[in-house]
């Protein structure tokens, strides 16, 4: 067959118009049939004619299920999550239930969710300053404004698609920890809690925070696990912190011997104990014991003496008659 030969849809049999062909693995599909596919179907080109016929049959049956769908809980903003808590089903749609006839959103059992996680995509814009010529130049070091997008990613057990994502924010969110940032984090948690799934948070971008669990702490109360390979070194309750041992909260620090920077033991003073570092109670630098009792020295210092030069009697260190120093 030539490039411009007429083609017919292998699903409905209708003629395929110019630019209207949608390739299948073993045939062709017209754009009208392609519009009926699930919005979550992204593997059309690798699907066979029979698989597409089965998919479209499923989509027809979904219309009847959709008419019986009665949401009891709605979460999200632009693209919303509608949940029928009584029957255990949910729907993802931008439209309100009264406008679902053309869209025919998939009604999925909550039990079909095999995994769910929040992806936070980070982007940044550099901030510039004006130089003397009025030109934009970078700061040194460069400065940036950071922006974020929030997407819930689902894995589901469905014969016609196995994953889809729901973007939570319409416009990118400025600033980690801002009110909007925290609001979308909470929105993601509310959706996952309502669906009864435990998800992870993945930070995509320059922050280096990956696989953040949903139960600890980043900005705005979200937990962070495995933050870019950094693990906390301890806390205030007696765990190792930054290479030294922190005393348990409410207990005094260890006031015994610690090492000085050269690995030698340095005596530490305890509370309420007399100082031990005077020159008469410690060894000198050569390992010799300094005198412990200096009463004789004090007595000698206060005794009178006779100057050898002038014979004057003195009590101080120098002769008051001639100025001679006491021997």
Segment 250-291, tens digit of pLDDT: 333 343 334 433 344 444 444 344 444 444 344 444 344 444
The dihedral through the CA atoms of 107, 110, 111, 112 has a sign that is: positive
Query: Does one domain contain both 62 and 121?
Result: no
Mean pLDDT, rounded, of the chain: 76
Do residues 147 and 207 both lie within one domain? yes
The contacts found for 61-65 with CB under 8 angstroms, 24 or more apart, are 62/104, 62/106, 62/107, 63/104, 65/89, 65/107
Evaluate whether residue 283 is within a structural domain. Answer: no
Residue 327 in domain: yes
Helical (H) or strand (E) element with 192: helix 179-195
Residue 141: inside a domain, yes or no? Answer: yes
Mean pLDDT over 95-110 rounds to 93
Q: What tens digit of pLDDT does each residue of 192-248 get?
A: 999 999 888 888 875 444 444 443 334 333 443 333 332 333 333 233 333 333 333
Q: Closest by alpha carbon to 79, among 56, 101, 103, 59?
A: 103
The domain boundary residue, chosen from 175, 204, 221: 221
- Whether the pLDDT of residue 312 is over 70: the answer is yes
Query: Same domain for 60 and 134?
Result: no
For residue range 6-29, what is the model confidence (pLDDT) as tens digits?
789 999 999 988 888 999 999 999
Same domain assignment for residues 58 and 124? no
Predicted local distance difference test score (pLDDT) of residue 286: 39
Residues 132 and 206 in one domain: yes
Domain boundary among 169, 190, 221: 221
Q: What is the pLDDT of residues 125-183, one digit of tens each?
A: 999 999 999 999 999 999 999 999 999 999 999 999 999 999 999 999 999 999 999 99
Q: What is the pLDDT of residue 68?
A: 94
Percent of the chain beyond pLDDT 70? 68
Q: Does residue 38 fall inside a structural domain?
A: yes
Is-contact 29 19, C-beta < 8 A?
no
Q: In the prediction, which pLDDT does 326 show?
A: 77
What domain range is 317 assigned to?
297-327
* Same structural domain, 213 and 140: yes
Residue 228 lies inside a defined structural domain of this protein: no
Lowest mean pLDDT among 36-50, 162-176, 253-267, 309-323: 253-267
Q: Are residues 202 and 120 in the same domain?
A: yes
Number of domains the chain is built from: 3
**Judgement on whether residues 124 and 58 belong to the same structural domain of the protein:** no
The residue out of 221, 248, 263 marking a domain boundary is 221
At residue 311 the predicted structure's pLDDT band, cuts being 50, 70 and 90, is confident
Joined tokens for residue 147: 């922006």
Residue 93 belongs to a domain:
no
Q: Token pair of 308, please?
A: 């050898």
Task: Output the pLDDT for position 207.
Answer: 46
Q: Is residue 242 one of the residues assigned to a domain? A: no
Query: Residue 149: inside a domain, yes or no?
Result: yes
């Amino acid at each position: 067959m030539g490039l411009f030969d007429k083609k017919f849809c292998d699903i409905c049999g209708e003629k395929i118009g110019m630019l209207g062909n949608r390739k299948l693995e073993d045939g062709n599909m017209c754009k009208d049939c392609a519009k009926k596919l699930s919005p979550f179907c992204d593997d059309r080109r690798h699907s066979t004619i029979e698989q597409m016929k089965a998919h479209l049959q499923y989509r027809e049956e979904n219309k009847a299920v959709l008419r019986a769908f009665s949401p009891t809980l709605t979460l999200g903003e632009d693209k919303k999550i509608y949940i029928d808590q009584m029957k255990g089903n949910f729907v993802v749609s931008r439209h309100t239930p009264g406008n679902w006839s053309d869209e025919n959103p998939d009604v999925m059992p909550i039990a079909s969710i095999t995994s769910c996680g929040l992806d936070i995509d980070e982007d940044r814009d550099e901030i510039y300053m004006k130089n003397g010529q009025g030109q934009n130049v970078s700061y040194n070091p460069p400065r940036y404004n950071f922006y974020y997008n929030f997407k819930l990613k689902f894995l589901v057990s469905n014969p016609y698609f196995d994953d889809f994502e729901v973007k939570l924010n319409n416009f990118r969110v400025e600033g980690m920890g801002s009110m909007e940032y925290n609001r979308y984090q909470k929105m993601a948690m509310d959706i996952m809690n309502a669906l009864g799934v435990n998800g992870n948070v993945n930070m995509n971008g320059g922050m280096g925070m990956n696989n953040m669990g949903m139960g600890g702490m980043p900005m705005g109360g979200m937990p962070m696990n495995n933050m870019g390979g950094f693990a906390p070194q301890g806390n205030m309750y007696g765990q190792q912190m930054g290479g030294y041992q922190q005393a348990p909260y409410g207990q005094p620090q260890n006031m015994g011997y610690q090492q000085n920077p050269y690995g030698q033991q340095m005596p530490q003073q305890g509370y309420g104990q007399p100082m031990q570092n005077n020159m008469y109670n410690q060894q000198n630098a050569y390992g010799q014991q300094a005198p412990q009792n200096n009463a004789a020295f004090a007595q000698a210092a206060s005794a009178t003496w006779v100057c050898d030069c002038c014979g004057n009697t003195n009590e101080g260190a120098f002769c008051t008659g001639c100025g001679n120093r006491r021997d």
